[in-house]
Amino acid sequence: MTATPLARRLPALALAAVAACAVVPLAKSAPGADVKLEALTFDAFKARLARAGSQNFKYTLVDAWSTTCGPCKENFPHLVEMHRKYAGKGLQVVSLSLDDKADKKALEAARTFLTEKDAKFLNVLLDEEFGVGFEKLDINAIPAVFVFGPDGKLVKKYSLDDPNNQFTYEQVEKDVAALLAAK
């Protein structure tokens, strides 16, 4: 018995249909699909923070990091988790990359890292000469975390500058949860 032309093509058509079905859902829910890295000058960044209240954010958590900072990358999942837990309660989460804007490899690594971590919140690359971010934020090391009020004014700063007073992301979360509960 010989197969008809349609019967011979049926297995190939079935495979194509299965492949198409398998690809569509993955494309819609692919992690990192909506992740962007926006270049802002420090003044533009501060202006964005000052508008947080008009966007119904009670507080903004800013995590300063770079692709060359191992502890920054190790702790980044805490930032993603805080966004998931507290965005609906009035917390805006922002990652602030202090990578050198002239270093193409670092910028590509930052984009890849943010995509892999599914960082679907505001991700800013400081669009200034390398090192200016440390000066403007008044820090000597990263990671560093800042909590700003809805008016863009600093509420709390966590840095590694004092070796006798190191912070943890668990401490940051506890403090943020208390701030959100108090408002």
Report, as an integer, the average pLDDT of 65-92: 96
The pLDDT of residue 64: 98
DSSP β-bridge partners for residue 158: 145
The pLDDT of residue 53: 74
Distance CA 89, CA 181 (A): 9
Distance CA 152, CA 38 (A): 19
Three-point CA angle 69, 73, 78, nearest 5°: 135
Distance CA 86, CA 29 (A): 21
Domain range list for the chain: 38-182
* DSSP summary character for residue 69: -
pTM: 0.80
As given in the structure block, the two tokens for residue 22 are 């398998």
As given in the structure block, the two tokens for residue 50 are 């000052």
Distance CA 50, CA 34 (A): 24
Fold type of domain 38-182: Glutaredoxin (3.40.30)
Dihedral pair phi/psi, residue 51, rounded to 5°: -90, 0
Burial 79-88 (b: 16+ CB within 10 A, else e): bbebbeebee
Q: How confident is the model at residue 155 (pLDDT cuts 50, 70, 90)?
A: very high
Q: How confident is the model at residue 120 (pLDDT cuts 50, 70, 90)?
A: very high
Distance CA 97, CA 107 (A): 9
As given in the structure block, the two tokens for residue 108 are 């590509």
